[in-house]
Structures are given as C-alpha cells and as structure tokens.
Structure 1
Amino acid sequence: MFYKMTMISLLLTSLTAFARTGFEYEGIPVKTVDTKGKIKQIVVKRDIPEECLKIPINNMMVWSENYASAKVPEICKSTYVHTTGKLLPMKLHEDIDTYGELEVLAFIKQMQTDDSMMLIDGRKEEWYAYRTIPGAVNIPFHHLKERKSFEFEFEHEIETLGVKINEDDTFDFSQVKTIVVFCNGPWCSQSVAMIEALLEIGYPAEKISWYRGGMQTWLAAGMTCSRK
C-alpha cells in the first residue's frame, strides 16, 4: 500500500510540475545495458518531431487510411498490424493494478533510484531484441509458464525477481521485486501468461502491476523505445 501511495504521489507531483509541457515530454533519463555490456543512457519521453506539431488536428489527419491526401509527413505516421491476438480485459486480478503510459513513466522514474523495482518485458528474446521500453529486463514468459521444460532458465529468472529457493525446494518471496510486466499490446497474452505463472508459484499479487497497452500502445503514443 505504501508503494502504491508513493507512486500516486510521484505521478500527481510530476503532472503538476510539468503542467505546461506534460510529464511525458519532460523525459526520464534511464540507464540501460546494450548487448556488449556497455552502459548507456536513454531519455524516455514522448518523441514528437517538430513538423508533426504543425499539422492541424482533424479527422482526415488522425484517422484517414489515405495519409497522402491528408498530407501527413512520413515521420508522423505509425502503422501496426491490428488483426492478431485476442483483446484482454482491463483487470486481471483484484490485487493487480493495470497501468497506462504515465504510470509506467512514473514507475521508471522511481526505479532509477530503487533497485527493488523492475520493469519486465515478458516476450521472447527476439521480440525484446527488436524493440523494447528502455530500462526493461527481458524475462521470457515461457521460461515460467513451461518451467518443467526450462528448469535452469526458470530458476535463473525467479532469482532475478528476488525469489529465494529454499533447500526443500519451496520459495521465499519476502524479498521479491515490485514489478510491472508488459508484452506486445492489449491483444497479447504473453505478459498474462507470465503473470499467471508467477501467481501459480505464490508470487505476491500486490507486487505485480500490468501494462496492458504494451509495445503497440507505447509506440502509438510516440514514446521512446530501444533496440538491443
């Protein structure tokens, strides 16, 4: 409860402080590690090119399938496949909060000075390597869901989350991370499968939050992403 109140306070404070520019435009410096082990810093924010800000907002510009006739610059367009997967409910569990982009940003900001927090990309490695949210750690969902087939990976992943494996093979969740889990979009079940697998082994639900929008909504909002 203390953590959730802190998150709400941080979000409201940030929204007030950046009322004119918007919390998402100010940006949050995030340290990430590339494939060579080199630490780099990326500012996570809503990236909107200047030329896109000059376009008049109207139905033709925002929703038209014919962008050419709407005279929308290429840099301002985003196209995604929207015919895959199955839409998921807004609430997965009574003790699991569902996050939007600003809540994820507030979480990332607090995460920079709190190592008990972790943003989790629950997709398989090739998806994570292609594009992810800066600062996210990759824990492929199938390592947890199919734990009998991935025993070594399963143990490594839950230890990364702060789960201690006792000598009698039971789990100690007293020092687990507070996490936010995401995958490809509101139609993607990979993050849901991961959350369900964590709940099955006893991971406390109050330590889990879910970013339902995932990469599709993140990118649709023009948010910063990184490639590994």
Structure 2
Amino acid sequence: MRTILLSLCLAAVSAPAMADQVGITKDMMSVTVQTESGAVEIMRNQDPDARLGEPWTQTSRACPNFCIQPMTPAPGVTTIGELEVLDFLQSGDAVLVDGRVRTQYIEGTIPGAVSVPYTEAADRLGEFGCEIDFDGWICEAEVPNVVLFCNGPWCGQSPTAARRMIEAGYPAEKIYYYRGGMQNWNMLGLTVMPGVS
C-alpha cells in the first residue's frame, strides 16, 4: 500500500513537469499568429507517442510527377526552414503562400497561409502588389516577400509557382521556398488548420 501511495505522489509531483515538454525550440513553446479566422497558436503536438498519418508516411512516389526537388527552385530564391516560416508569420514580413491545389489547402494548411495554387501563381501577381501591363506584370513597387510551400521535398507545385512568378516579373530575391512543406510541418507535429474556403 505504501508503495502505491508513494508512486501516486511521485506521479502527481512529476505531472506538471511533463506538461508542455515538446517545444518548438528550447526557449519557445508556441507562436501565436493572426489568420483570417483570428489568432491561432502554433505549437508542436504534446503527445510523445504521436505518429504521422497518411499520406505523410509514404516514402516512395512515382517520379515523375513526384521527383525530389532541388534545394533552390530558381536562382535568387532563398530556401528556408520551419523557424524562418514562424519568424515570417510572427513579423508579418511575408505572405505565406500554399501553392498546392485548393482541395489540399482546404484539407489542412499552415495557419496564416493563403491559397494560390501553383497553376494560378503567375496570373495573380496583382495580389502581391504588381501591376498588369500589356507585356505582363510590372513588379517595381515595394512588393512583399512571399514564402511558398507545398507538400514537401518531393512536391513540385511550389517550385513551379516560384519559376512561373519569376518569369512573369516577380523579383526572385523576394521569394522564399519552404522546401520541407506540409510533410516536414506534420512530421514535427506543428499545428495544422483547415484552409479558409
């Protein structure tokens, strides 16, 4: 009986120390970002037994279409990781663009992301401050930084969007590529929310 009571007391004392043990970094447990739906707290899943679900566990997809993408999709584009995405979301210094097809965006995306499917990216530069011209787009004004992502290192949707945007006139140095995309975001247990329809 004494052993059971001692075990229960130890469990009760150690329980608060176990709460919120899975941080983003050792000094950051979560990040709150503003979205069209209001404030959303991004944090990692706190269940140490959590596992990825389908389709994120699938390792082998036919190439083409699912070939491993280069680290940099076009000259001048900067490749970034999760911490840089979070910094951009907190600072508001970039537009986070989900370059996947709309149905994938609606199923689940990074909080704060807007949907600009890769097939539409070059045609929607007006949403990023560019002006239409007879020959295409003029992006000379102060256009925002754009962070593009899709499903992961094997997904060509956001690299295609980056190349098409550059060809249409968007400055490459204003484009950031989150190569890890939804696969890495899910693998790290970060918050995902349905896209705004």
* TM-score (norm: length of structure 2): 0.77
CA contact under 8 A between 1:25 and 1:47: conserved in structure 2? no
Which residue of structure 2 aligns with residue 204 of structure 1? 171
Moved more, 218-227 or 93-102: 93-102
Which residue of structure 2 aligns with residue 31 of structure 1? 34
Q: Deviations over 1:182-222 (max 9, x none)?
A: 00010000001101100111210000010000000110011
User: 1:110/1:200 Cα in 2 relative to 1: closer, same or farther (>3 Å)?
Assistant: same
Q: Which amino acid aligns with 2:102?
A: E
Which residue of structure 2 aligns with residue 78 of structure 1? 52
Runs of 4+ in 1 over 6 A off after TM superposition: none
Q: Deviations over 1:74-111 (max 9, x none)?
A: xx111422222111121223421111111111111111
Decide which structure has the larger Cα Rg and report it: 2
Determine helix, strand or coil for the equivalent of 1:185: coil
The Cα RMSD (Å) is 2.0
User: 1:170/1:226 Cα in 2 relative to 1: closer, same or farther (>3 Å)?
Assistant: same
CA contact under 8 A between 1:124 and 1:140: conserved in structure 2? yes
- Give the number of the structure whose residues are more often helix, by fraction: 1
Relative contact order: is structure 1 or structure 2 higher (C-alpha 8 Å, sep ≥ 6)?
2
Does residue 192 in structure 1 map to residue 159 in structure 2? yes
Which residue of structure 1 aligns with residue 73 of structure 2? 92
CA contact under 8 A between 2:152 and 2:180: conserved in structure 1? yes
User: 1:98/1:29 Cα in 2 relative to 1: closer, same or farther (>3 Å)?
Assistant: same
CA contact under 8 A between 2:29 and 2:43: conserved in structure 1? yes
CA contact under 8 A between 2:152 and 2:181: conserved in structure 1? yes
* TM-score (norm: length of structure 1): 0.67
Q: Return the alpha-carbon distance in structure 2 between the equivalents of residues 24 and 108 of structure 1.
A: 18
Which residue of structure 1 aligns with residue 95 of structure 2? 118
Which residue of structure 1 aligns with residue 107 of structure 2? 130
Which residue of structure 1 aligns with residue 187 of structure 2? 220
Deviation of 1:175 after TM superposition, in Å, equals: 2.7
CA contact under 8 A between 2:96 and 2:147: conserved in structure 1? yes
User: 1:21/1:135 Cα in 2 relative to 1: closer, same or farther (>3 Å)?
Assistant: closer
Q: Which amino acid aligns with 1:88?
A: Q
Deviation of 1:160 after TM superposition, in Å, equals: 1.0
CA contact under 8 A between 2:95 and 2:113: conserved in structure 1? yes
Which residue of structure 2 aligns with residue 42 of structure 1? 40
CA contact under 8 A between 2:74 and 2:162: conserved in structure 1? no
